[in-house]
Structure 1
């Protein structure tokens, strides 16, 4: 079955196989948070241990993981983090600006950092606004288009919630526009913290509309 990225709590995970990376997406918890297991060879990392530790540990399996990357500090994105880290011995990575409010962080991240995943790497992109330390993670497929995990900073239809704070919204829309849309091509596929995936090309025509409406 072709990968669509359409998963819901209780549904089977969806897996996408690239030439050098396998992406498995699962929805967990009462707010349908997305968690992503990335595999390259024997190296594996998890993005957002959001909820339902037993389900995530079943997904991870006996092979374990090397690291858990938390996209931002909101509680619905780390409810299973402590249990997953304890069970697997994985490192726990988050941006320094959010780390104090995440229960287990072993290493902090900054904009431009590279996180190895087997032969590839994820580039950390700091996007300020949803939280002070929100990040996106960029994988450049050597044989295809770019892939981007955006947490709650970018969704199909708009940027993440900024609490009706004009300064936070301005910061986030600026970062999303300049650090993502200005840098990356239309075929970049992005995977958000909740809901369905999209591409930058699908969303790009609406940037001015998002800025005008203020959310």
Structure 2
């Protein structure tokens, strides 16, 4: 039996992968792919305001709650997840994190990678996560880095939709029909109790991208996720 295809998701905070790529994760997992999520932080400082309003809240409790939410969401979507706990607002990365992620690349050997937009004036953690994802990808391709371990190829990198795409200079270049797994994505939303205010917002985003996907295809699509490409699309033999 052949090994399942794999995909890697690098998420700055513990909820980002749910809002922005939960459909892609669930869709591929349902088709037998192994999807692995790396959460760099729990979003404990900047994305957990509802928790911090509770009396007696502590940093450790916030992290515990956000980790539990993300683990539950990943389970619903059918993915594995790991938490690096490197902090947020501000996020900083040292070489140990780069090398750890390069190791993940070489072990997983993903067919594609998902991460954040290249720019985000509202949240500097997001482009830093993508910078890390791409830097580790390059390291994992380097023959001189741990030369006894086989290098990876060139998995395409897709940037999922930021909260305010125009200000992030992000535009959709690929629409993915997630209608068949929408209920899973919505269920994963609802594990994110610390950010309940975003549930309906990202439902509207899914519907809007579904309408645009239908307009740009011969398909009738209710819910979609949109992605921007980093590298050129390569094909052999034909364009479609």
More helix by share: 2
- TM-score normalised to structure 1 length: 0.32
- TM-score normalised to structure 2 length: 0.30
Say which structure, 1 or 2, has more relative contact order (CA 8 Å, 6+ apart).
Answer: 2
